Amino acid sequence: MLVKFALAVAAIVTFAMVTARPAVAADAPKGKYYELRIYTAAPGKLDALNARFRDHTINLFKKHGIENIGYWVAVDEKNVGKLFYVVAYPDKEARDKSWAAFGKDPEWIAAKTASEKDGKLVEKVEQVFMTSTDYSPIK
């Protein structure tokens, strides 16, 4: 009898372990979905890249529901020529929808084409998707 009981408990515990979701994922509050993007500018093109963001991109991001958080350029030798920026969305689905619309926007296509008449502005794009920690001042 004791063996049957132990086997039943073991089966229930095993089932619970296999089917349960981690408490952190299930109980985590919904926050913004952040994206860090790092653009390595083509040689001599960082100023043109900054101008494109300043004059076109940030307003087009707003138009398509992409929240501008901040933009930075590196001052250390290791990262000179890179543009770092963070944007935010309500969630991943909103991010995907916003980027798809942004990429097809005729105003964006025209601005990109005009800014690259003398060559590509960006050699490499890196991206990291993030959510805020519970102790972050930015939620």
Q: What is the mean pLDDT of residues 54-69?
A: 98
pTM for the complete prediction? 0.77
Place of tokens 């086997």: 7
Spatial distance between the Cα atoms of 61 and 89, rounded to a whole number of angstroms: 11
Q: What is the pLDDT of residue 43?
A: 97
Query: What are the C-alpha distances in Å from 123 to residues 11, 12, 25, 126?
Result: 55, 54, 36, 10
Has residue 29 got a pLDDT over 60?
no
Give the confidence band of 31 by pLDDT, cuts at 50, 70, 90. Answer: confident
User: 70 and 34 in contact (C-beta within 8 Å)?
Assistant: no
pLDDT tens across 38-50, in order? Answer: 999 999 999 999 9
Give the confidence band of 5 by pLDDT, cuts at 50, 70, 90. Answer: very low
Q: What is the pLDDT of residue 30?
A: 66
Has residue 75 got a pLDDT over 90?
yes
Average pLDDT over the chain, rounded to an integer:
84
Residues forming a β-bridge with 67: 88
pLDDT tens across 76-120, in order? Answer: 999 999 999 999 999 999 999 999 999 999 999 999 999 999 999
